[in-house]
Amino acid sequence: MINIAIDGPSGAGKSTIARKVAEKLGFVYVDTGAMYRAIGVHVMRHNLPTDDARAVISVLYDAHIALAYQAGEQHILLNGEDVSKAIRLPEASMAASNVSAIPEVRAYLFDLQKNIANTTNCIMDGRDIGTVVLPDAQVKIFLTATAEERTRRRCLELEQKGTPVDYDTLLTEIIQRDYNDSHRAAAPLKKADDATEIDSTGLSIEEITDIIVKMAEAVL
């Protein structure tokens, strides 16, 4: 199987680019952030604090996560229910960041991620794909952009979806999430030694997509 790993902070453009690369190569796009978000939603629905490891673990194994594809779009199922919309609500972002710091949550999702990569040509995005989940991926990308640029993009995206948010509030939240994601003990966000770093500030989606497609074609 050919696997492409794409890691980086929130809002760097990973999902948009990974989706386009997948389309061009005929690969499956796997958004692992959606899996952490689904666990966060599951814990919130139990009215438990997402930053309390014991509480999270007490309901973790009741969360059955599956991916389904409709017209090339990934849908995420939590115990059979399509929660693709619920996981994008703002409160699901912090919940995902909280639960993702818990090693048991990471181990639980690791098996699911590994299984998909072993059976399909895929481009998988996340924080620890090149370092932990798919250390042998043939192509590894670490995609970055400044926090301000990422906030601008996310603001625009949410505005277009009809749920505008305040720029400064979002910037503070993005900086906080970056800090959480890169300072946690379990699989912190960091570039794999053999990953190619691409700073997406000032580059178009098409330009970055082309770079990654060319890298993948070289190993196909």
Min dist CB 64 to ligand DC, Å, is 19
Stretch 5-64 residues interacting with ligand DC (CB under 6 A): 10, 32-33, 36-37
The number of residues that bind ligand DC (CB under 6 A) is 14
Min dist CB 187 to ligand DC, Å, is 7
CB count within 10 Å of CB 212 equals: 23
**Cβ nearer to ligand DC, comparing 44 with 214:** 44
Min dist CB 169 to ligand DC, Å, is 16
* 126 near ligand DC, rule: CB under 6 A: yes
| Cα 17–chain centre separation | 12
DSSP 100-154: TT-HHHHHHHHHHHHHHHHHS-EEEEESSIIIII-TT-SEEEEEE--HHHHHHHH
Do 171 and 151 form a contact (C-beta atoms < 8 A)? yes
Do 127 and 180 form a contact (C-beta atoms < 8 A)? no
Stretch 127-146 residues interacting with ligand DC (CB under 6 A): 127-129
Options 50, 177, 200, 208; binder of ligand DC; rule CB under 6 A: 177
Min dist CB 101 to ligand DC, Å, is 8
* 173 near ligand DC, rule: CB under 6 A: no
Handedness of CA 143, 145, 151, 155 (dihedral sign): negative
Min dist CB 41 to ligand DC, Å, is 11
- Looking only at the bridges linking them, the beta strands covering 139-144 and 28-31 are unpaired
**Residues that bind ligand DC in the complex, under the rule CB under 6 A:** 10, 32-33, 36-37, 96-97, 100, 126-129, 177, 181
